[in-house]
A and B are shown apart, each in its own frame.
Chain A
Amino acid sequence: MPKTYAEINERIRTGKVVVVTAEEMIDIVEEEGVKKAAERVDVVTTGTFGPMCSTGAVLNIGHTTPRMKISKAWLNGVPAYGGLAAVDLYIGATEAREDDPLNTPHPGEFRYGGGHVIEGLIAGEDVRLTAQAYGTDCYPRKKLDTWINLKDLNQAYLCNPRNCYQNYGVAVNVNTERDIYTYMGVVKKDLGSASYCSAGQLSPLLNDPYYRTVGIGTRIFLAGTQGMVFWEGTQHCPTTPRGENGVPKGGAGTLAVVGDLKRMSDRFFRGVSFLGYGCSSAVGIGIPIPILDEDMARYTAVKDSEIFAPITDYSYNYGHNEGKPLGLVSYAELKTGSIKVKGRDIPTNPLSSYKKAQEIATLLKDWIASGNFTLQEPIQMLPQADSGLKFKSLRERPVNGGAM
């Protein structure tokens, strides 16, 4: 008998809800079968913690005296975007500090960037704001140099255009001459290592592969507080080929998420530095999946051996946007610490923290079980697998007859 969101929320409010993590659901379905599990379990919690670019924060710093229409701004030396309004700023996670040597010499260390600024704000640290303006009659001030603190800002919210990628590729390096430095970490030469980045069976969108319950308005765990999905994420590609279980065989759906920075925890939001690549941030996300029917029970019982990711050469193919994957590999194989590529055993290393993913799924489970977190039915669904929406590469068009 299918359940409704209202029925599940009523069970949450009355303390009768049965909520388990996606790991626990695997065992329940194995022991009791899909039908019984669907009847007994109301909510399955998921979690993921790993590097997620396309992350940033909107900050309203309050009006200065005299007033100022900020056009250029820096937070601890990291450029922030001031082209939104007078004193609204957007700080992006991948922005490097302006005096960073970047990749000269290679590989650069990128010790501090936008993700670190956001982490510092969440941790309650003072951040130095410097800003410039051209001056107007209504906003005469032209310079600003001050300390700001999260608690004094009017609004501060994480606003991430793309997080929570549904599955992802595995990075290898077929170049026999040199190690490469990527957003998947250091990938060793001559197929010396393979990097992967997903919580697999605990990952949110792998437990709802067709986005039946995750849509716009879905309430989620975001970096230690309650946030929500506000749109499909950039590069959302629901038409990626799928297995019989519905799980995409590579990057597919993404989520745009938002949440109150003032309520977040630096345990679940971290600035990161990738050697030779740049700065970014790691974000903790957990999503509750309501078990509306037997299909949702089946989807949430997905396990690592049933989730496959493409193995991609990052020494040439990825960067040049060509070539085919070297094969598919299951998360169960990846997690053994070694996979076979071209007949060779290659050590694997994760970038996504499974330990943190477990922590998030368990924390979300506790919130729901204690009545502090109810489910929000999506107010609009994400583009679905039959939407025809595909990930497009840029089609370049010659400008001025092709002259550069």
Chain B
Amino acid sequence: METRRVVLRFPKQLIDQPITSQLVKNFDLEFNIMRADITEESEGLLVLGLTGKRASLEKGLAWAREQGVHVQPLSKDVVRIERKCTHCGACINVCPTTALTIDLETREVGYNSNRCIACELCVPACPYGAMHIAF
């Protein structure tokens, strides 16, 4: 069993389709919703933690792609622009999952994308515009 954190983007014509429930039913997957949103462009956005057998995960995600869903690993969507980060620490108190932390020895701000749930709170809270969402 393994877990993958993925961002699913549903184009307008798929918003009313039961894609997620079919992923669960047909591919024997469990899911944990980390974020769900209808974007300004009327696209659906779903950030999921999907758990299942590796083969099931791959088959399920391949099927979702065939339906027209855009699938992307979560780690590719929230990025820190290193040249913009000054390692101040303004971001760390708004991060609910401790994906952003400050190293008490080096005083560097660390970013652990595995802990990130793409809540986006860090994006406007960073005074330097170093956190970027690439949805």
Residue numbers of A with Cβ under 8 A of B are 49-51, 107, 109, 111, 185-186, 188, 192-193, 195, 270, 272-275, 280, 282, 335-337, 347, 349-356, 358
Contacts and interface: CB of A to CB of B under 8 A. Distances in A.
Give the secondary structure class of B's interface: loop
A337 B124 CA distance: 22
Closest CB pairs A-B (n = 10)? A272-B127, A193-B93, A354-B107, A350-B89, A355-B87, A353-B86, A349-B93, A353-B88, A185-B90, A275-B124
Given A280-B127, A351-B90, 15 more contacts: A185-B125, A186-B94, A272-B128, A273-B124, A273-B129, A274-B127, A275-B124, A282-B88, A282-B128, A350-B90, A351-B88, A352-B88, A355-B107, A356-B86, A356-B87
A109 B124 contact: yes
Contacts of B92: 347, 349
A351 B104 CA distance: 15
B108 interface: yes
B106 interface: yes
A49 B86 contact: yes
Interface string B83-111: 00011111111100000001010111000
B132 to A, nearest CB: 13
Interface of B: 86-94, 102, 104, 106-108, 124-125, 127-129
B124 A349 contact: no
A265 B94 CA distance: 30
A282 B93 contact: no
A353 B127 contact: no
B127 A337 contact: no
A335 B93 contact: no
Contact of A282 (B89, B102, B104, B127): B127
A193 B91 CA distance: 11
A186 B128 CA distance: 14
Nearest to A51: B127
A349 B100 CA distance: 11
A350 B102 contact: yes
A282 B125 contact: no
Contacts of A350: 88-90, 102
A349 B90 contact: yes
B124 A335 contact: no
Contact of B86 (A188, A270, A335): A270
B27 to A, nearest CB: 40
Nearest to B86: A353
Contacts of A280: 127
Contacts of B94: 186, 188
B89 A351 contact: yes
Contacts of B86: 49, 270, 282, 353, 355-356
B52 to A, nearest CB: 36
A186 B124 CA distance: 10
A283 to B, nearest CB: 12
Contacts of B87: 353-356
**Interface centre among A280, A336, A354, A356, by most B CB within 10 Å?**
A354
Contact of A336 (B89, B104, B124): B104
Contacts of B102: 337, 349-350
Given A349-B92, A349-B93, A352-B88, A186 B125 contact: yes
Nearest to A112: B129
A273 B93 contact: no
